[in-house]
């Protein structure tokens, strides 16, 4: 039996409790199947650098949840009630169930679905964006029965979901990796969805021209480096004239390896750093070839 957390879902205590833990709704985000948020955005929320934004659909779903749960209980003759669980062995793993019943050791996951998702539910299919969430609920709660409930315009569809132990094991590893990133303040890699898309035609055209010329510049740089190396390799003396070039050999002192200075090992050198400065990195995305009009 997992630990029961006596916080009302949505309360300030609950929000504080889940901020440094991994809940069921976090899993689709962590593994990249959520269309609503990226791993980096979730990370920013967990460390307190961004607020979670509640969409109108999310607000509607919360408002309807109690009604739908009562409808399910009346329909099935069950006694599901909301509860928050924490995993027995992994204190960082939690889930907030829309409904739990000790009578059948089962839970329900309620979705106030759009037409497309509700149609999938009518065929006994859990939309991919919710699958990891439900499997995480199995992992944390230890329940033997899971029921997916889809509600759309007064119509309810419900069906049992089986625990996928192999999938759950993979989710646990990925969730733990993300949790370690949070406590170590080590952000996850950015995705393309983490960038603001600038679509002003003049700027897009200028960016494409810049990208094309940057590629040409880098190709020229590689040619210069290779040609320089060939010339140096074929010089027989320390001072040479070759065409319009002077090629001279010099010796400079090596740099100081401060890590090898015993007297500095006990000194925090960060206190001597100058203030941080902002800078821009401009790079071409992926291996895409820019287009010039």
**What local confidence, expressed as pLDDT, does residue 108 receive?**
97
pLDDT tops 70 at residue 286: no
Taken in order of first residue, the domains within the chain and their CATH numbers are 3-193 (3.90.320.10), 198-272 (no CATH)
pLDDT tops 50 at residue 293: no
Percent of the chain surpassing pLDDT 90: 72
Question: If DSSP states are collapsed to H, E and C, what string results for the chain?
Answer: CCEEECCCCCCHHHHHHHCCCECHHHHHHHHCCCCCCCHHHHHHHHCCCCCCCCCHHHHHHHHHHHHHHHHHHHHHCCCCEEEEEECCCCCCEEEEEEEEECCCCEEEEEEECCHHHHHHHHCCCCCHHHHHHHHHHHHHHCCCEEEEEEEECCEEEEEEECCCHHHHHHHHHHHHHHHHHHHCCCCCCCCHHHCCCCCCHHHHHHHHHHHHHHHHHHHHHHHHHHHHHHHHHCCCCCEEEECCEEEECCCCCCCCCHHHCHHHCCCCHHHHCCCCCCCCCCCCCCCCCCCCC
**What local confidence, expressed as pLDDT, does residue 28 receive?**
97
pLDDT tops 90 at residue 110: yes
**64 or 81, greater pLDDT:** 81
- Stretch 102-118: mean pLDDT: 94
Quote the pTM value: 0.76
**What local confidence, expressed as pLDDT, does residue 291 receive?**
52
- Stretch 148-169: mean pLDDT: 96
pLDDT digits (tens, 9 = 90+) for 191-226: 999 999 999 999 999 999 999 999 999 999 999 999
> Quick one: pLDDT band at residue 152, thresholds 50, 70, 90?
very high
pLDDT tops 90 at residue 170: yes
**What local confidence, expressed as pLDDT, does residue 7 receive?**
79
Average pLDDT for the chain: 91
pLDDT tops 50 at residue 278: yes
**3 or 160, greater pLDDT:** 160
3-7, 42-46, 73-77, 156-160: least confident range = 3-7
54-58, 254-258, 262-266: least confident range = 54-58
**What local confidence, expressed as pLDDT, does residue 284 receive?**
77
């Amino acid at each position: 039996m997992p630990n029961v957390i006596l916080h009302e879902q949505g309360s300030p205590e609950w929000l504080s409790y889940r901020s440094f833990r991994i809940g069921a709704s976090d899993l689709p985000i962590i593994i990249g199947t959520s269309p609503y948020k990226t791993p980096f955005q979730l990370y920013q929320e967990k460390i307190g650098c961004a607020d979670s934004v509640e969409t109108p659909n999310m607000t509607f779903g919360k408002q309807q949840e109690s009604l739908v749960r009562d409808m399910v209980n009346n329909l099935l003759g069950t006694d599901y009630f909301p509860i928050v669980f924490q995993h027995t062995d992994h204190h960082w793993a939690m889930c907030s169930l829309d409904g739990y019943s000790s009578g059948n050791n089962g839970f329900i996951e309620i979705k106030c679905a759009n037409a497309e998702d509700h149609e999938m539910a009518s065929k006994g299919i859990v939309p991919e964006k919710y699958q990891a969430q439900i499997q995480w609920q199995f992992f944390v709660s230890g329940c033997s029965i899971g029921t997916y409930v889809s509600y759309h315009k007064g119509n309810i569809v419900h069906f049992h979901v089986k625990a996928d132990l192999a999938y759950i094991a993979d989710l646990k590893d990925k969730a733990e990796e993300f949790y370690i990133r949070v406590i170590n303040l080590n952000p996850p890699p950015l995705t393309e969805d983490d960038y603001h898309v600038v679509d002003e035609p003049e700027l897009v055209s200028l960016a494409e021209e810049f990208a094309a010329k940057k590629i040409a510049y880098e190709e020229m740089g590689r040619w210069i480096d290779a040609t320089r190396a060939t010339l140096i390799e074929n010089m027989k003396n320390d001072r040479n004239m070759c065409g319009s070039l002077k090629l001279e050999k010099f010796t400079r002192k090596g740099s100081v390896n401060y890590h090898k200075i015993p007297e500095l090992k006990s000194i925090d050198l960060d206190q001597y750093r100058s203030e941080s400065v902002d800078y821009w990195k401009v790079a071409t995305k992926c291996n895409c070839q820019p287009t010039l009009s």
